[in-house]
Structure 1
Amino acid sequence: MHGRSDSSLLRLINSRKIVDVVLDVAPEGISRADVARATGLSKPTVSTLVGELEGAGLVRMADAGSPSGGIGRPAALYELVPDSSLVVAADIGATKIIVGVADLLGRPVAEEMLPTPPDASAAADAVVETAQRLLEGIAGGSSRLRAACVGVPGVYRSADDSVEMALNLPGFEGFAIRAHLTDRLGVPTQVDNDVNLAAVGEAGAGADRGDFAAVSIGTGIGTGLIIGGELYRGGTGAAGELGSLILPGLHGSAGGDPTAAGHRSALVGRATLEDVASAPAIRRIFGGAVGNGRCSALAAGAEVADIFAAAAAGDEAAGYTLAQAASAMAYAVTHLCLINDPALIVFGGGVGTNPVFVDAVAGELDGLLARPPELAASELGRRATFLGAVSLAVSSLRDSLVEQTLDGAGQRGAIR
């Protein structure tokens, strides 16, 4: 959009309105007159742009609709050609990667999950190779790929294409992942924090959610903030790094080596939320509780789901561990609410979606806030980030298609 005049920018905005209306009513189809009514634009403007979209193979004439007023010839309806363009979306997690291909409506048409390689470069290459394999399985898939979006752990700095604080996946230092992916995939590629994309995914899954926070609790902890219907990244892209919140009264890593790889306390010298409420921390604290003589029917190396189930059944060591994690998370949620006041907090990740944990956090919040937020477990599960990446890739592609359509129409005549 850079370098356009004011009139050209207005035309671009109007064009986006038309594209959105045509896309969002698919597959039912819509007449040019209805597009004009929905956008408030003139019929000649709509006719010009719909014709350009049809010429580009992005929309096509559908079955005829009812005539206006019930008499006369039926109105021609236009619908999106959803598979005219494809996007690649991916979520690079600490333990798993999800890669998929979606159409212009954001519908996944192919998807695969694989283990995360040991470093960032290998993980990026795994995304590319998996995407290429999926595209090869779709007729003409590679030739229809137009955009991509990938979620990464840590803080992504778009200005210099860098990732910081990705403690659970090494190798990001000095690795320009967006440039690497763009070069290998051959299409414009966006990169964003994984929990930011999870928030976008959750926003798309729930109607009228308003301001909310998506808090992912698994191998690490992070937050995506939706404020005023928009993703909030902050001044440097680090908004929502809730895992780094320092917990008062605790030092080191709350039961582990504070210099160990993956401990945020190694960065700040104090115990953080991630050192108490993440999945590795919960297992570590439980093991310490058993080792210190608290009774449990579970072995010290039990998994988080088993620990929470045992806590619900009255297990002493498991109950102690759950209380530590829930209390720390309630402390973090309280501060999040005092600053951002979200009406809803959606918990994701292997820890966050456990109902025993959600109920425990809700109990800890009683008395801490005058009006505590609604707490809910994500219904999207581990696919939230992937679906958010699909959404951003499709949105970016829509912008690109609008510009291409406008430029093509501008060569034929003015658009009002």
Structure 2
Amino acid sequence: MRARNLAVVLGTIHRSGPNTRAALAEMTGLTKTTVSSLVSDLLEAGVVTESGAVRGGERGRPGVAVSLSGHRVATLGLEINIDYLAACVVDLTRTVRLRRTRPADNRNSSPAGTLQGLRDLVKETTAEAGEAGLRIIGAALAVPGTVEGGVLRNAPHLGWRDVRIADLTDLPFAIDNEANLAALGELWFGSRAADFLYVSGEIGIGAGLVVGGTVFRGTFGLAGELGHVVVVPDGPACRCGGQGCLEVYAGQDALLGDLGSVAELVARLESGDRRAVAACERAGHALGVALTSAVHLMDPGRIVLGGIYAPLFRWLEGPVAEGLGVRLAHMRGTPPALVVSGIGADAAVLGAAGLIIQRLIADPAQVLGL
């Protein structure tokens, strides 16, 4: 009962913002004595803070506001991408306190070597967080592949299969698909809309469907493999074994060609380079075809383009919107809103950190050992 009540009180503080203990008692239906005891426990754990005078005290007198604290407790988001490792420390107010990225060539890499590099990054980042007075209570890792039961089942661009990532850190730990966590990052740190389809453009192309503030994962957790939607049935071979997949036309490799980075592609686009513009037009056309199928199946009201599509949005938006508009005109009139991610390349690592925050809010007693 106490664990449930802790979750009720902390969840109310999280949703409603600063409130007095008396107001929290009224909002939760718990007694003032119970709320006062629970708030004291949360204060001691460093999860909430009391400050300032607000209306809501007994008999109309100003009371002290209880709110989430960003001073003592934080979470760690991690990401393995094809060309970098990333770590991000986020406090309970969802403020980013540290962000570290290490360039790395992880394509067809050794799991042992890459994970050792990530362990080193975890040690470095948690040490810096400790120096700033923050206690990391848990970590989550975003990976570019399918995940089942804590096992990375298949990450074709890494060249990994059936890799169990269990001893990365002593912290409570979770692992999930990059696109799912990026969608949650957009939900919690970006647009904050409750319903949307998030499209993560990287070497591969993933998608996360957020419905009512929750990611839809499918029966086996494999929902969102947008990159393997066929856009040209007799097109070039894809590494998945199929032909004409979206990834072949709109993945990072297809967009960059012989260029070395997305930044270089953006520079070419800004200078009006015809090859670069044509590459974005081809990618945008293919993306419009694939998203038309997604709209027919899932009927999202908003489509968010993230990952490498964020810096390329101004050149992709037109071809994608045109493709959607033409194909959906007779079915629904107005296509879903097409918008750029507000957090770009940070979406997955922020979503990973946010996942642990949500677990804390849902069950503070278990996460904090209260």
What's the TM-score once normalised by structure 1's chain length? 0.77
Instruction: Select which of 24, 49, 67 maps to 1:35.
Output: 24
Per-residue CA deviations over 1:38-65 (Å, capped at 9, x if unaligned) read 3233323312312322344444443444
Instruction: Select which of 199, 202, 205 maps to 1:221.
Output: 205
Match of 1:305 in 2: 266
Match of 2:157 in 1: 168
Structure-to-structure mapping, 1:1-400, within 5 angstroms:
8=1, 12-23=3-14, 29-66=18-55, 68=57, 74-118=62-106, 119=109, 120-139=111-130, 144-157=135-148, 159=149, 161-170=150-159, 172-177=160-165, 179-181=166-168, 185-206=169-190, 209-253=193-237, 265-284=238-257, 304-305=265-266, 308-309=269-270, 313=272, 315=274, 317-318=275-276, 320-354=278-312, 355-369=314-328, 370=332, 371-400=334-363
Query: What amino acid is the match of 2:266?
Result: A
2: distance between equivalents of 1:60 and 1:318?
Answer: 52
Kept after mapping to 2: 8 A contact 1:162/1:176: yes
Kept after mapping to 1: 8 A contact 2:69/2:93: no
Displacement of 1:180 = 2.4
2: distance between equivalents of 1:235 and 1:199?
Answer: 18
2: distance between equivalents of 1:103 and 1:195?
Answer: 22
1: distance between equivalents of 2:227 and 2:251?
Answer: 8
Secondary structure of the residue aligned to 2:88 is strand
1: distance between equivalents of 2:210 and 2:146?
Answer: 17
Structure having the higher strand fraction is 2
Of 190-199 and 121-130, deviating more is 121-130
2: distance between equivalents of 1:77 and 1:318?
Answer: 54
5+ unaligned residues in a row in structure 2: which ranges? none
Secondary structure of the residue aligned to 1:22 is helix
Secondary structure of the residue aligned to 1:376 is strand
Query: What amino acid is the match of 2:119?
Result: V
2: distance between equivalents of 1:133 and 1:319?
Answer: 41
Kept after mapping to 1: 8 A contact 2:84/2:104: yes
Query: What amino acid is the match of 2:216?
Result: Y
Displacement of 1:320 = 4.6
Query: What amino acid is the match of 1:88?
Result: L
The alignment-based identity, stated in percent, is: 28
Per-residue CA deviations over 1:190-210 (Å, capped at 9, x if unaligned) read 111111111111112345623
Kept after mapping to 1: 8 A contact 2:307/2:345: yes
CA distance change for structure 1 residues 340 and 91 in 2, over 3 Å: closer, same or farther? same
Secondary structure of the residue aligned to 1:248 is coil
Per-residue CA deviations over 1:99-158 (Å, capped at 9, x if unaligned) read 12222222221221111343333333222211211222344579822100111001111x
2: distance between equivalents of 1:349 and 1:55?
Answer: 39
Q: Runs (4+) of structure 1 moved beyond 6 Å? A: none
Per-residue CA deviations over 1:288-344 (Å, capped at 9, x if unaligned) read xxxxxxxxxx9xxx954356457xx583x5555444322211110001101111111
CA distance change for structure 1 residues 215 and 321 in 2, over 3 Å: closer, same or farther? same
Kept after mapping to 2: 8 A contact 1:347/1:353: no
CA distance change for structure 1 residues 40 and 329 in 2, over 3 Å: closer, same or farther? same
Secondary structure of the residue aligned to 1:209 is coil
Kept after mapping to 1: 8 A contact 2:301/2:337: yes
What's the TM-score once normalised by structure 2's chain length? 0.86
Of 355-364 and 80-89, deviating more is 80-89
Per-residue CA deviations over 1:329-362 (Å, capped at 9, x if unaligned) read 1110001101111111111122454111122111
Kept after mapping to 2: 8 A contact 1:216/1:347: yes
Query: What amino acid is the match of 2:284?
Result: A
2: distance between equivalents of 1:51 and 1:122?
Answer: 45
2: distance between equivalents of 1:168 and 1:251?
Answer: 20
Kept after mapping to 2: 8 A contact 1:21/1:35: yes
Match of 2:365 in 1: 402
2: distance between equivalents of 1:404 and 1:390?
Answer: 14
1: distance between equivalents of 2:256 and 2:51?
Answer: 57
Match of 1:3 in 2: none
5+ unaligned residues in a row in structure 1: which ranges? 1-7, 254-264, 288-297, 409-416
CA distance change for structure 1 residues 186 and 117 in 2, over 3 Å: closer, same or farther? farther
